[in-house]
Amino acid sequence: MSTTTPVRPAPGGMSPHRHDPEGGRVSGGLFDPRQLLTSLPDAFRKLDPRVMAKSPVMFVVEIGSVLTTVLAATDPGDWFGWAITAWLWLTVLFANLAEAVAEGRGKAQADTLRKAKTDTEARRLADGGEERVPGTALRVGDLVVCEAGDVIPGDGDVVEGVASVDESAITGESAPVIRESGGDRCAVTGGTKVLSDRIVIKITTKPGETFIDRMINLVEGAARQKTPNEIALNILLASLTIVFLLAVVTLQPFAIHAGAEQTMIVLTALLVCLIPTTIGALLSAIGIAGMDRLVQRNVLAMSGRAVEAAGDVSTLLLDKTGTITLGNRQAAEFVPVNGVTEEELADAAQLSSLADETPEGRSIVVLAKEAYGLRARHEGELGHAAFVPFTAQTRMSGVDVDGTRVRKGAAGAVVAWVGERGGQVPSDAQEKVDAISAAGGTPLLVAVDDARGARVLGVIHLKDVVKEGMRERFDELRRMGIKTVMITGDNPLTAQAIADEAGVDDFLAEATPEDKMALIKREQAGGKLVAMTGDGTNDAPALAQADVGVAMNTGTSAAKEAGNMVDLDSNPTKLIEIVEIGKQLLITRGALTTFSIANDVAKYFAIIPAMFAGVAGYQGLDALNIMRLASAQSAILSAVVFNALVIVALVPLALKGVRYRPMSADRMLRRNLALYGLGGLIAPFVGIKLIDLLISLIPGIG
């Protein structure tokens, strides 16, 4: 089995986009003009009619190019015929170039992976012992042993042991991760390297079907199929092509009747200019670039359909922990009981947390320092101190120093500790504990036993901290008409508090896998598309049911098989960005389709008056010649030249994507109609006129 070990670069040598530089605005990848030159050989190879036939519009252009080539060859002295022929071939080549550039960005990454593949020897368990076999000989269900320094020979699940694994070959991250048997972090990927300890892996994939093999196929486009929207748009473009073909065919009898019979070269030029060649040339590139933008962010989409579905999502299911909140409870405030100052409580809380290495303990020390100016003391400064670590049995931690004992922990445990030492618990202590619990927080009591006796000082309010900027992100999603639902195992009271703070539209408390599935089916029954993330085997059914299921790379094999996307960074929050990338893909396709159809109008005003210029009885058509082009031949050639050049000009936009801004569908439609519809009308008039002025300077044409 072939595997890979080096660090994986992002496409084009770029590092993956882990964070969006504009705070939630999705932008495209960088476009390097040198990619046009490196992709040129692939563009020529795509001139094969068997390849061109997959794009009906450009296939018609290629047939037209062949026809004009034959006609020009019959009259070698006709410069006009040769000029039209050359630019028609360039139109086809530019369309192929757009697709080749989009594919080339993924192939660069795939080539790096393919060159780095090595044949790995596996230590397979058999008959109570080990045998060394080639990785290609492994089959589903085989058990293999991997120790420190071994390259994992294939995808599988850890069934025994725990180890530190270097996954930089697939994630680009140098920091090792822990993989262990049981739970949701048991999946390992072939080509990654064990750094410590010993694990036993159960192989779950066949040779040649590993995650890295699929990754290579996906990023280079070999596994890409046209999405339903692409197919529908192709059908529409083919229909428009047929309509314009019939129009051009029927135009010749009218021209003959008027005494202005047109050559086949002119009619071919007219057809190519009228059919939607711009979007026909860029359609495939737009789809490939959409998947590439996900790859740049370390997300693998198993199909283009998943990317499109992300753009149409109307309901987002988001896990609370790690997605909406930081996942670690943080100290928010110190609440003293009557007769105790906040500074006294903060000092005792900090002292009891000096040896507490948990995120909660560290946050208590930081809060005391930042809110009350208490210097963070170190264990070494308290020479005679005896630190009491937290245990599941005592549910407390603290310190004994200079005859004073300080404890912090669960309310029940601390109350019992104070009672055992003959102390009294103030009546307002329980009230404060209940108030914090009711607000969705976690209360920790702080008590001290000194010369004044055992007593409670107050309560530390721990809360699940909502990630910065989440409310604003949810507001943006709401403006786009997307409903957000928080999924949590917390009780309804806690869930409500977090939901209110984060600004989500709804929440599902005390959620079970069955509850998630029921919610997804209920939303889908209402005609909505649903997106969610998951990493566990119990998430697999819901991931499979969701329209967009993003599995975490750290999750189980079952979860990754069920989802239609895999996040290599295992960052659940990225689901929001995935939805925005999907919307950007749909917006880009719609914008360029609008531009393509709109700019055909200007070509009509250029060619039709030129065809009938000076013909008796058709002087009224001269009113359409609003650009006042130099001559009939110059007008037709200018339109064909513009038709070819506009494809090249729009390649960067097709690859980067139209910049996405959260707004309502109505506002977005008005904006795109104004920018790309009106722009598509005006740009060709300006462009064709400028080209005509240049052509008219050529001797014998103007």
Q: Is 517 annotated as a binding residue?
A: no
Q: Is 622 annotated as a binding residue?
A: no
Instruction: Tell me the C-alpha to C-alpha distance, in Å, between residue 379 and each of 42, 352, 382.
Output: 66, 11, 6
Q: Is 539 annotated as a binding residue?
A: yes
| Nearest-5° Cα angle at 74, 73 to 80 | 65
Q: Is 395 annotated as a binding residue?
A: yes
Whether the CB-CB separation of 229 and 308 falls below 8 Å is answered with: yes
User: For residues 509 and 489, what is the distance between their CA atoms, to the nearest angstrom?
Assistant: 6
Instruction: Tell me the C-alpha to C-alpha distance, in Å, between residue 339 and each of 73, 95, 410, 432, 528.
Output: 103, 79, 22, 14, 56
Identify residue 644 by its one-letter amino acid code. Answer: A
Whether the CB-CB separation of 268 and 67 falls below 8 Å is answered with: yes
Which residue(s) pair with 464 in the sheet? Answer: 329
Q: Which among 595, 434, 573, 409 has a CA at the least distance from the CA of 502?
A: 573
CA of residue 88 relative to chain centroid, distance = 37
Q: Which 3-state string (H, E, C) describes 273-284?
A: HHCCHHHHHHHH
User: For residues 637 and 85, what is the distance between their CA atoms, to the nearest angstrom?
Assistant: 10
Helix (H, G, I), strand (E, B) or coil at 3: strand
Helix (H, G, I), strand (E, B) or coil at 498: helix
Helix (H, G, I), strand (E, B) or coil at 628: coil
State phi, psi for 306 to the nearest 5 degrees: -65, -40
Q: Is 391 annotated as a binding residue?
A: yes
First to last CA, the chain: 67
Q: Is 396 annotated as a binding residue?
A: yes
Q: Is 394 annotated as a binding residue?
A: yes
User: For residues 261 and 634, what is the distance between their CA atoms, to the nearest angstrom?
Assistant: 18
Alpha helix segments (H runs only) across 539-677: 540-545, 557-562, 574-611, 632-656, 665-672
Whether the CB-CB separation of 147 and 131 falls below 8 Å is answered with: no
User: For residues 578 and 482, what is the distance between their CA atoms, to the nearest angstrom?
Assistant: 13
Establish how many alpha carbons lie within 13 A of residue 514's alpha carbon, considering only the half-sphere containing its beta carbon. 0
Q: Is 545 annotated as a binding residue?
A: no
State phi, psi for 221 to the nearest 5 degrees: 85, 0
User: For residues 337 and 344, what is the distance between their CA atoms, to the nearest angstrom?
Assistant: 11
Q: Is 537 annotated as a binding residue?
A: no
| Nearest-5° Cα angle at 164, 170 to 6 | 30
Q: Is 341 annotated as a binding residue?
A: no
State phi, psi for 225 to the nearest 5 degrees: -120, 155
Which residue(s) pair with 398 in the sheet? Answer: 388, 407
Q: What is the DSSP letter of 48?
A: S
Q: What is the DSSP letter of 154?
A: S
Q: Which residues are catalytic?
A: 319
User: For residues 365 and 141, what is the distance between their CA atoms, to the nearest angstrom?
Assistant: 49
Q: Is 118 annotated as a binding residue?
A: no
**Residues flagged as binding site:** 356, 360, 390-397, 408, 535, 539
**Residues flagged as binding site for ATP:** 356, 360, 390-397, 408
**Residues flagged as binding site for Mg(2+):** 535, 539
